Structure 1
Amino acid sequence: MEKKFPVIETDRLILKEIIRDDAEDIFKYLSDENVMKYYGLEPFKSIDEAMEEIGWYQSIFDEGSGVRWGITLKGHRNVIGSCGFLNKVPQHYRSEIGFELSKEYWGKGIANEALAAVIQYGFEQMNLQRIQALIEPLNLSSQKLVERNGFIKEGLMRNYEYTCGKFDDLFMYSLIKQDVETGSNT
């Protein structure tokens, strides 16, 4: 039986499945150097790369290792970013969280609204105990975003990933289910 993709609604947003018809939208922001600066991939150069990304979103959902939502504004069809889980480890009740947003929507609270909804979904619907975010040290806006959502910086993992021809250090951030339930991080 095929799993039904979960749709999340917030005050201003609909978080939905990203489909092939969204390739132009995905390409628009994933080809932007500013958006891709800390993404771990070069800016996309073709619509085919956007189609491959959409294929990856579908495969992680199908295999149960993650779920990636397209961020849309209510009343608009265009996907302006994505947010979701990857590298889920069911036996340890943890997953990584990732996100990106089209530059024209930065600074409007949209990423914060989407991230908060996805975190809530992870704890309540996926039964996660731990959500972690891996963020490059120079990516200050993403660090501030996860910190606003209660994440704790646990430490620096040196040369943790090799992307775009270089080794990247990454900060490990985490949010534990009890932190949200008790409000101990806010």
Structure 2
Amino acid sequence: MDFDTFPILETERLVLRKVMNEDASSIFKYMSNEEVMKYYGLEPFESINDALDEIAWYQSIHNNRTGRRWGITLKEQGVVIGSCGFHNIVSKHFRSEIGFELSQDLWGKGIAAEAVEAIINYGFQHMNFQRIEALIEPPNCSSQKLVEKLGFINEGLLRDYEFTRGKFDDLFMYSLLKQDFDKI
């Protein structure tokens, strides 16, 4: 797995790129929204410092080779409107979890699906993943629909799997295997 460089991915409408400290204000803008953060596992951001901490986490998982997070931008605009990527990479088992979020004013336009499909393709083709997992809270129907559209299979419910925002959360375990994605 190549972690020495940070790849830029392009789709029809998007450029997925490394998030920089200069992106903190745009990240703060959408991550201070309660609806965007509802299933993210963190409280809505209250300051630019929260956004800078998030960017530092993106950098740390990359440096530690346990993840890679792309900023989602619309072509020719360059402003980060969301992010997507891999975390909890287990190289020895050729698997990773996937995560994503998007500014609420852009929901329902297929942007998140376009970005997630691009990174899944990259993960299978260039990061040597055999399995990509998505852990999604049961009430988060839109994220469930997104991953199902991309071929993920719901493998079951993980009860009280995470403790976030002062409560235990159940999570559905979704997975996509390389051979199943190749068929799509």
One fold, TM greater than 0.5? Answer: yes
User: Structure 1 residue 42: deviation in Å?
Assistant: 0.5
| 2:80 match: secondary structure | coil
Between the aligned residues of both structures, percent identity stands at: 64
Q: 1:63 offset after TM fit, Å?
A: 1.1
RMSD after superposition? 0.8
Looking at structure 2, the residues matched to 176 and 16 of structure 1 have their Cα atoms a distance apart, in angstroms, of: 25
Runs of 4+ in structure 1 over 6 Å off? none
- Alignment of structure 1 residues 1-186 onto 2, 5 Å: 3-183=4-184
- The alignment's TM-score, normalised by the length of structure 1, stands at 0.96
Look up the SS of the partner of 2:77 in the other structure. Answer: coil
Per-residue CA distance 1:13-34 (angstroms, 9 max, x = gap): 0000000000001101110001
TM-score between the two structures when normalised by the length of structure 2: 0.97
Paired with 1:97 and 1:170, the residues of 2 have a C-alpha distance of 14
Task: Give the superposition deviation at 1:182.
Answer: 3.0
Following superposition, the deviation at residue 73 of structure 1 comes to 0.2
- List gaps (5 residues or longer) in structure 2: none
2: CA distance between counterparts of 1:57 and 1:182? 31
CA–CA distance in 2 between the matches of 1:4 and 1:88?
Answer: 17
Number of positions where the alignment pairs a residue of Structure 1 with one of Structure 2: 182
Q: Hey, what's the Cα distance between the residues in 2 that align with 1:65 and 1:108?
A: 30
CA distance in 2, matches of 1:134, 1:6: 25
Q: For structure 1, list consecutive stretches of 5 or more residues without a partner in the other structure.
A: none
Amino acid at match of 1:143: Q
SS in 1 for 2:157: strand
Q: CA deviation at 1:120?
A: 0.0
Q: Which letter maps to 2:127?
A: M
**For residues 119-138 of structure 1, what are the alpha-carbon distances to aligned partners after superposition, in whole Å with 9 as ceiling and x for unaligned?**
00000000000000000000
